[in-house]
Chain A
Amino acid sequence: MLTVPVQIQILLAGILFFLGLIGLLVRRNIIFMLMSVEIMFNSAGLVFIIAGSHWMQPDGQVMFIFILTVAAVEVAIGLALILQLYHHFKTLDADAIDKLKDKI
């Protein structure tokens, strides 16, 4: 069985995480931002899997199941919020939705 060194595995997870982060920062559409958050989530889950397989422990997979559940819940709530935002503002542009601020 071909084994990929653990450093490469971690590097993959890191690349995934930064892709997600960059997507989150550069996108203005909220749906894409949510998707970027999902990618970052999954990169974190991937690190758990890598750690689990590296130390031969099942905890990493258990943790990944948890993360999947939380991600599912988060997506459900996030999509519901996005739906409401769209009804209210008729746009999905995150920059246009800036009502939540202090008056100077």
Chain B
Amino acid sequence: MEILISLIPAIPLLGFLFLSLAGGRVPRKLAGFVGAGTVGISMILTFIVAFVFIGSLHHIKVWNVVLWEWIGAADMHANIAFSLDSLSLIFMFVITFVGFLIHVYSLEFMAKDEGFTRFFAYMNLFVGSMLILVMSDNLLLMYLGWEGVGLCSYLLIGFWYKDPANGRAARKAFIVTRVGDTAMIFGIFILFLNFHTLNTQELMYDASMNWVMGAPIATLTAALLLGGALGKSAQLPLQTWLPDAMAGPSPVSALIHAATMVTAGVYLIARTNVLFMLAPAVRSAVAVIGALTLLLAGFSALTQHDLKRILAYSTISQIGYMFLALGVGAWSAAVFHFMVHAFFKALLFLGAGIIILVLNQEHNIFRMGGLRKKMPAVFITFLAGSASLSALPLVTAGFYSKDQILWYAFSSDYGSVLLWVAGIVGALLTALYSFRMIFITFYGEAKTEPSFKPGKLMLVPVSILAILSVIGGFVELPDSLGNVHLFSDLLSNTLPPVVLANKGIPEYFFQILSAVIVLAGIYLAYIVYLKKPEASESFRKSGLHAFFEEGWGFDALYDTLFVRPVVWLSEIDKKDFTDIFNKGLAGIALLFNTLLVKTQNGKLRWYLMSLAIGITLILTYMLTR
């Protein structure tokens, strides 16, 4: 079993090695087979391991696999070692399963691309790094995976590197997340300095034993780790990179920027939940940041016209929900929403990828329209995804996961009415922008003709995800509806349960309220975007619309606050003393060079003459001395 566990991340990494070393020399069929196949094997192995793990859960809760010592110096020891518990198992399941579906989809999506092999090499490296991130038993190995996925994100955003704009988007993503990563590595340093170990379980145990609730050091460490999570998960104030990250191919957006990598922050906070419980201020900050982000991104999603950017802001907003859940101590609710979100958001990105491909790279939803009859299969799956995203009551998975978060935002010991209000306004926005997307893209008159019919390799993964977006929520039903707790029971082996405060309002009241809000949002979208498009016209022309569309001006703010001062300083730095000195040296050398070059004129007799004169002078000097 230990070998099986260590093979799960190893096989995609081997696939990466093979594809990158073989380069363009392997035939496309083999490259595609290796690229998707390695992730498929990982998925099967994950299923086997999960099956055995859940079977033996009653007597062992964590499986540790130590492969070898990675770094050993003085009292610092970092192992290449994996630790399997229910939290990492759920992440592994999503990474390999959704990852495999996306790889299969990419076989057709990328079929005509010249970088086919390179694409699958990067994707395999990503899956391997992400698995290392969630499986590692120490923070350093986790950081390796953390940076590995960041690198793959950079490589894949800039995948079509011939367009300089894509390169800029890739660098922006890399640099902005690096701000958070720097904070995170400092957090890891503090933990190591205090406890002289990097093992996550030991660290959490030591922290709970040695640090008192609200201690400054605990607050500082949790805040630094939160910084890393904010960068990776595109939360306020480091959210600006994700909308631009849509420059990458759609499968990349689905896998990295929706389903897995951007939720690494959620994983980090859930994994170090002990630390966040010791720092109530930071824990509350997580909830507030989540609530603010989900509102902010919701408004921005409502005003975008690029299909993928709508989904990008929607992803930021949904991760905001996860942070809200983490902040109120509802750890398993956050992870549950992560899983459901991975299903429906991957589905939506893959669907958007098909639409964009079929319409010859048309991203603007206002130039789509009427696709319902032209692409019925895409329409039905996209509708399922959007319904799940907007949490359509009772029938979709999104309802059960989001409803749980909203309920805990209010009823948890750390919850409050304000957080709940933010969540419910966010739910209204979500319904509004999801169905705005549906109505504008699929209804109305057709504006662009589809160029071909999508094939099975793209439609089958999308259909599987559509089914899961609908039924995936039935593993966790609230007390008032069915009372099924398979998911939170599994997670209760790793994560502490949510602490409820009795606030005297029953759960079903909130469920009915949120159901009404969602339905109202969908109806509003129907009225404003389909029935009477002129009703939203004045808003579309307003300055507020432009402000939301630009993502609340964060790009401009960071440009004036950071980018311009740095550029200004480097301009000054170019003219300082050492630069003048060095440039002067180069200038003198150049002057002599131009003088000497004049003597090198190619005239044979000129050379002879100078030779004769030179010899005469030397002889004269020597003889008359």
Question: Which candidate, A1-9, A53-61, A69-77, A91-99, is the interface stretch facing chain B?
Answer: A91-99
**How many residues belonging to A are interface residues under a CB distance threshold of 8 Å?**
15
Query: Is residue B600 contacting chain A, with contact meaning CB distance below 8 A?
Result: yes
Verify B612–A98 contact, CB threshold 8 A. Answer: no
Nearest CB in chain B to that of A21: its residue? B612
Verify A97–B605 contact, CB threshold 8 A. Answer: no
Q: How far is the CB of B142 from chain A (nearest CB, A)?
A: 58
Query: Is residue B601 contacting chain A, with contact meaning CB distance below 8 A?
Result: yes
Verify A25–B608 contact, CB threshold 8 A. Answer: yes
Verify B612–A25 contact, CB threshold 8 A. Answer: yes
0 or 1 for each of B596-607: is its CB under 8 Å from A? (1 = yes): 011011111100
Chain B residues near A102 (CB-CB < 8 A): 597, 600
Query: Is residue B594 contacting chain A, with contact meaning CB distance below 8 A?
Result: yes
**How many residues belonging to B are interface residues under a CB distance threshold of 8 Å?**
12
Query: Is residue B609 contacting chain A, with contact meaning CB distance below 8 A?
Result: yes
Chain A residues near B598 (CB-CB < 8 A): 104
Query: Is residue A24 contacting chain B, with contact meaning CB distance below 8 A?
Result: yes
Q: Which of A33, A98, A104 contacts B603 (CB 8 A)?
A: A98
Q: Which of B594, B597, B601, B604 contacts A94 (CB 8 A)?
A: B604
Q: How far is the CB of A54 from chain B (nearest CB, A)?
A: 21
Chain A residues near B612 (CB-CB < 8 A): 21, 25
Q: How far is the CB of B415 from chain A (nearest CB, A)?
A: 77
Chain B residues near A24 (CB-CB < 8 A): 608
Verify A25–B605 contact, CB threshold 8 A. Answer: yes
0 or 1 for each of B158-202: is its CB under 8 Å from A? (1 = yes): 000000000000000000000000000000000000000000000
Q: Which of B597, B604, B605, B609 contacts A104 (CB 8 A)?
A: B597
**CB within 8 Å of A: which of B298-347?**
none
Contact (A101, B605) CB under 8 Å given A21-B612, A25-B612: no
Q: How far is the CB of B597 from chain A (nearest CB, A)?
A: 4
Chain B residues near A104 (CB-CB < 8 A): 594, 597-598
Verify B594–A98 contact, CB threshold 8 A. Answer: no
Chain B residues near A95 (CB-CB < 8 A): 603-605
Which residues of A are in contact with B by a Cβ distance under 8 Å? Answer: 21, 24-25, 28, 33, 94-95, 97-104
Task: For the A-B complex with A94-B603, A95-B605, A97-B604 known, give 19 more contacts whose Cβ atoms are closer than 8 Å.
Answer: A21-B612, A24-B608, A25-B608, A25-B609, A33-B604, A94-B604, A95-B603, A95-B604, A97-B602, A98-B601, A98-B602, A98-B604, A99-B602, A100-B602, A101-B602, A102-B600, A103-B597, A104-B597, A104-B598
Closest 10 CB pairs of A and B: A101-B602, A98-B602, A102-B597, A102-B600, A94-B604, A100-B602, A101-B601, A98-B603, A104-B597, A101-B600
Q: Can you sample 13 A-B contacts with CB below 8 Å?
A: A21-B612, A25-B609, A94-B603, A94-B604, A95-B604, A98-B601, A98-B604, A101-B600, A101-B601, A101-B602, A102-B597, A103-B597, A104-B598
Which residues of B are in contact with A by a Cβ distance under 8 Å? Answer: 594, 597-598, 600-605, 608-609, 612
